[in-house]
Amino acid sequence: MGASEPDTPGLVAPFAARAVGLALALVLAGCGNDRPGDATAAAGVSEDVTRATALLEPAAQLPPRAEIVALADTLAIASSRRGKTAEGASLARLAADLRARLWRIDQVAADAREAVELYAAAAQAAGGSPEGCEADRRRALLAGDLARDAAAGYRELYLASRRQAAALAGLASAPAPSGAPAAQPPSACLAQIDLALARAVAYRPSIVALRALEREGNAAADAASRDVHGRPASIAIPPPPSSAPSAAPTASAASAPSGVPKDVVVSPKEDAVGKGPVKVLSIERFGNEKGARVVINLSAPTTFNVGTLGADESKGKDARVFVDLARATSKGVQKEIEVGGAVRRVRVGAQTDGTRVVLDLAAALYRRVFYLPDPFRVVIDVSTRPPVRDESPGKGGRRALARVALDAGHGGVDDGAVGPTGLREKDVTLDIAHRIAPLLAHELKIETLLTRDSDAYVPLELRTARANAFHADLFVSIHCNASENGLARGVQTFVFDSGKDPEASVARLAARENAPRGGTAALDPKALDEAMATIFSNLGGADMAAKSRHVADLLHRSALASLAPRYPDTKDQGIKTAGFYVLVGADMPAVLFETSFISNPEDESRLSTADYRQKLADAVVNAIRAYRDGK
Ligand SMILES: [Zn+2]
């Protein structure tokens, strides 16, 4: 599976056709009763409306082109006379539909351009109503079609999604006019737009382009909200991830911001590492204004010390954190790497018996330095947010849960597990993540980070790094289980803990999920588990494990409840603990969800259906809702 063809106008899925039919019915119902207007004009127009509606029937016999153009123009003029009313909107929509139909038959670009304009007018006139959204959706699809560019189509849909979500939220928060129905219907149209976006994900622009688009989207959403209500948008559109933290620590202090533990450092013991030379192989970095992670890849395990230096304004020096790597050489490694954001740059220098890696910080930040075995890496995390926070429910029994990191397992060269008929874990996990994200946004108003958003290989430590820098409040990793004999089935949820689970199968599973690039880790799983347990407990993991365990419990119960009605034979494989790399270093509660066994033929065939995946996605959304609501 994966990204399929982007949606095209006129070729909509069956349920889309139903939604269109509904919208059309609403439009027609709106014509007569919403605003009576001029009776004589209305009588004349109603004939045109009947004629246009008949011509839009799939089996309609079409008159010469000029006649259809004339009818569309008449409707467009009538629409502009009625301005921003429901009737004006429905007339513009009809005119647009006629022009769009002509475009599909004749491929005359002028028809498509005219239709795009008319849909935009219809969307404006109808505001945040379902009709307005439907007009905007059609406009976006047609504009992409006209450009003959899938990336442009993605962009149009994305902007439409932002506009309509904002307009809908604006309507919901506006005082309901007397006599009008108070509740907004759930937006089938927005779901349609998001579905089309998910299908076109292969054409999603680069991160840089997407950030620019975010800003454009915010402006568009703002404008849409103002247009509908004549006042600024009342909902907060989440700022782009590059925005500066509101309470940045000052650069003058060398220590961490007040009231917070000093640096957390977890280095291997002297007797646990060899005596031979060690090479710094490469240095990776990831970060934004909220935090950063620097990973030093080494050829063999070694010990390290961590130190800090305060900012010296008289000498123009930033606050620094440095790591001295014993016995390490750094020949061939770039000596200065610009980063930007929380970490300005990374510098590498030789010492008498080792290598010093210095991070120049934009401010005094919370710092944490630890290692990951096999292959040996030293990880330096810095953040504007304290690593340990009180997440107990506050006022109204709710937890502050604004951001969730969704981690679709595997990707790119790493297929993950592969089922008997060839279904790949990496495709299933991405699709489920794509089903969860729009639901979190629209139903819970929770901002989502996808640690990967396409079929790309993303190293495990980068996944948590992204989640940390996003300041996620929760991390959910999605996977498919696999067993060697192919008989095992059902749902299993994991918490990263001290790796004391006695089951060998769990250790093997951990080894598989941890393995870089689909291979097998070189270290014996037990030794790996022990090493990870030490690191974890030193990172203050016990407290986080308790919270994670709670989330896992909610998720596990939610999954069984979601699947039971349709799949009553779903097997409960329980909640387990294991040493998953992907969850270490996450500074928020984290769980790993093994949706089902892709190695089992029956589970595989279920995992290949949209229905099953949707139920799994619903389960994750329901669990997150329950956790936020203080359950
Ligand atoms: Zn997996």
Please check the confidence at residue 600 and state whether its pLDDT lies above 80.
yes
- Tokens coding 580: 């998953």
Whole-angstrom distance between the N-terminal and C-terminal Cα of the chain?
A: 35
- In this prediction, residue 145 carries a pLDDT of 81
Q: What is the pLDDT of residue 260?
A: 47
**Distance (Å) from CA 589 to ligand 1 centroid:** 19
Q: What is the pLDDT of residue 81?
A: 81
For residue 220, the model assigns a pLDDT of 59
Taking only the tens place, the pLDDT of each residue in 311-345 is 777 777 778 889 999 999 999 889 998 888 888 89
Cα gap 234→243, rounded to integer Å: 20
Q: What is the pLDDT of residue 226?
A: 40
Tell me how far the alpha carbon of residue 44 is from its chain's centroid: 50
pLDDT of residue 605: 96
How many Cβ atoms are within 10 Å of 352's Cβ, its own excluded?
4
CA of 354 to the centre of ligand 1 (A): 37
Count other C-beta atoms under 10 Å from residue 190's C-beta. Answer: 22
Distance 264 CA to ligand 1 centre (A): 30
**Ranges 148-162, 531-545, 610-624: which has the least confidence:** 531-545
CA 411 to ligand 1 center in whole angstroms: 10
> Which whole number is the average pLDDT over 602-620?
97
Residue type, 111: D
Tracing tokens 């759930």 back to the chain, one arrives at 186
Q: How many angstroms separate the alpha carbon of residue 73 from the centre of ligand 1?
A: 56
pLDDT tens digits, one per residue of 452-471: 999 998 887 788 888 988 99
- CA dist 559 and 493 (Å) reads 10
CA of 204 to the centre of ligand 1 (A): 24
Q: Where are the alpha helices (DSSP H) in 56-85?
A: 65-82
pLDDT on residue 513: 64
User: Pairing mode, if any, of strands 403-408 and 447-450?
Assistant: parallel
Distance 593 CA to ligand 1 centre (A): 9
Q: Which amino acid is at 127?
A: G
Q: Which pLDDT belongs to residue 559?
A: 97
Q: How far is the CA of 417 from the centre of ligand 1 (A)?
A: 6
**pLDDT tens string 466-496:** 898 899 999 999 999 998 888 999 999 988 7
Tell me the pLDDT tens digit for each residue of 15-32.
333 333 333 333 333 333
| Element containing residue 214 per DSSP (H, E) | helix 207-229
CA trace torsion 125, 129, 131, 135 (10° rounding):
60
pLDDT score of 433: 96
How many whole angstroms from 506 Cα to the centroid of ligand 1? Answer: 13
How many Å lie between the centroid of ligand 1 and the Cα of residue 301?
27
How many angstroms does the Cα of residue 516 sit away from the middle of ligand 1?
A: 11
* For the chain, percent of residues with pLDDT exceeding 70: 71
The mean pLDDT of 81-104, rounded to a whole number, is 88
Q: In whole numbers, what is the pLDDT of the chain averaged over residues?
A: 77
Contact in structure between 370 and 364 (CB atoms under 8 Å): no
Tell me the per-residue pLDDT of 110-137, one tens digit each, with 9 for 90 and over: 888 889 888 988 988 888 788 888 888 8
Spatial distance between the Cα atoms of 76 and 179, rounded to a whole number of angstroms: 30
pLDDT in tens, 371-386: 887 778 898 888 888 7
| The pLDDT of residue 296 is above 60 | yes
Per-residue confidence band for 448, with pLDDT thresholds at 50, 70 and 90: very high
Supply the DSSP symbol for 254: S
Q: 171 falls in which pLDDT band (50, 70, 90)?
A: low
* Cα(57) to centroid(ligand 1), Å: 48
CA distance 468 to 483: 32
Ligand 1 midpoint to CA 382 (Å): 28
Per-residue pLDDT band at 359 (split at 50, 70, 90): very high
**pLDDT value at 525 more than 70:** no
Q: How far is CA 278 from CA 283, 305, 351, in A?
A: 14, 15, 13
Higher pLDDT, 335 or 532: 335
Give residue 9 CA to ligand 1 midpoint distance, Å: 36
- Reported as a single tens digit per residue, the pLDDT across 227-240 is 333 222 222 222 22
- Low-confidence winner among 149-158, 447-456, 595-604 (lowest mean pLDDT): 149-158
pLDDT value for 36 = 40
476 CB-near residues (< 8 Å, 6+ apart) = 404, 405, 406, 407, 436, 555, 590, 591, 593, 620, 624
Quote the ligand 1 centre to 494 CA distance (angstroms).
12
Who has greater pLDDT, 272 or 246?
Answer: 272
Strand order in the sheet with 491-496: 447-450, 403-408, 474-481, 590-597, 491-496, 572-578
Q: For residue 284, what pLDDT band results from cuts at 50, 70 and 90?
A: confident
Per-residue pLDDT at 128: 78
* Positions of E strands within 390-523: 403-408, 447-450, 474-481, 491-496
The per-residue pLDDT for 186 is 45
Q: What are the tokens at 121?
A: 């007018």
- Indicate the pLDDT class of residue 524, thresholds 50, 70 and 90: low
pTM above 0.85, yes or no: no
Q: What is the pLDDT of residues 394-413, one digit of tens each?
A: 777 889 899 999 999 999 98
Tens digit of pLDDT for each residue in 407-445?
999 999 889 999 999 999 999 999 999 999 999 999 999
The answer to whether the beta carbons of residues 297 and 375 sit under 8 Å apart is: yes
Pick 513 or 459 by higher pLDDT. Answer: 459
Distance 513 CA to ligand 1 centre (A): 5
